[in-house]
Every structure is written in C-alpha cells, then in structure tokens.
Amino acid sequence: MVVCICNAIRERDVRAAARSGAISACQAYRALGHQPKCGQCVPFARSIIDSERATA
C-alpha cells in the first residue's frame, strides 16, 4: 500500500524504517531519503510506526 503519494513511499518501507529505529514519520522519511511534502500521509505513517514499535 502506498503511504506517501508525493514521495512514492510504501507501507513496507515505513515499517522497515521503524524496525531500523525511526520513531517518527520525519525520521522514517529521512531514513528513506525523503521528507514529507504535503503532510497528508504523516498521521498514517505515524500509525504504522506506532504499530511496529508495539510489536517490537
């Protein structure tokens, strides 16, 4: 599933960044070489990161 249309970031990418230590959407995006643009995706990315951290 696409999380960020502006940067073409997929859910699996955000999950991988979270598993690598990203604790916020901005950190995850930086780890992937991007930054949030319009911001519509940040709440969804945050929920994915929270989900990964809860299962870790």
Q: What is the CATH number of the domain that holds 40?
A: 1.10.10
Which pLDDT value is given to residue 28?
97
The number of folded domains in the chain is 1
Q: Burial code of 2-22, b = ≥16 C-beta within 10 A, e = fewer?
A: ebbeebebeeebbbebbeeeb
Residue 52, both tokens: 């990964």
Which pLDDT value is given to residue 10?
97
What pTM did the predictor assign? 0.91
10: left (phi over 0), alpha (psi -120 to 50) or beta: beta
Which pLDDT value is given to residue 36?
87
Range of the domain at 42: 2-54
Per-residue pLDDT of the chain (56 residues; tens, 9 = 90+): 999 999 999 999 999 999 999 999 999 999 999 988 999 999 999 999 999 999 86
**Residue pair 36/4 in contact by the 8 Å Cβ criterion:** yes
